[in-house]
């Protein structure tokens, strides 16, 4: 009687057995795995107020669609993501967000281009 196959002991071993082309597989980064495990964090009252002030500052920048820029808050760290139409709008956006009371660090992932 043949011995049964040994169960896979790692993610890589499972992938090798199940994914036809290893180059086409996607494996999340450590940061993505950690974020998925932790989930989203609810903003406290101070962060909610900071978020509202930053969103108002984004709306005050002329020439951009405020819906094209998302704002994420983590304590005093503000992360911006999205698109603006030109370099001057990007510069104005970042300086306005820096000027908001309570903002410590601005991480700017906004790109120039049309949505």
Q: Which residue has the tokens 């949505």?
A: 115
The range of the structural domain enclosing residue 56 comes to 45-112
3-state helix, strand, coil in the chain (%, to 5): 45, 20, 35
pTM above 0.85, yes or no: no
pLDDT of 31 reads: 76
Give domain status of residue 96, yes or no.
yes
| Structure confidence by residue, pLDDT tens digits, 51-97 | 999 999 999 888 888 888 999 999 999 999 999 988 999 999 999 99
Helix (H, G, I), strand (E, B) or coil at 74: strand
Q: Per the structure, how many domains does the chain have?
A: 1
Instruction: Reduce the DSSP state of residue 79 to 3 states and report it.
Output: strand
Domain CATH for 98: 3.30.300.130
pLDDT confidence band for 98 (50 / 70 / 90): very high
21 is a domain residue: no
Tens of pLDDT, residues 21-32: 655 556 777 877
Distance in angstroms (rounded) separating the CA atoms of residues 113 and 72: 21
């Amino acid at each position: 009687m043949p011995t049964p196959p040994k169960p896979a002991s790692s993610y890589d071993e499972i992938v090798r057995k199940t994914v036809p082309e290893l180059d086409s597989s996607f494996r999340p980064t450590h940061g993505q795995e950690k974020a998925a495990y932790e989930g989203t964090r609810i903003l406290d009252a101070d962060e909610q107020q900071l978020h509202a002030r930053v969103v108002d500052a984004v709306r005050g920048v002329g020439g951009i669609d405020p819906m094209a820029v998302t704002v994420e808050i983590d304590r005093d760290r503000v992360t911006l993501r999205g698109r603006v139409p030109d370099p001057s709008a990007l510069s104005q956006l970042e300086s306005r967000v820096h000027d908001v009371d309570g903002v410590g660090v601005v991480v700017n992932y906004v790109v120039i281009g049309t949505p």
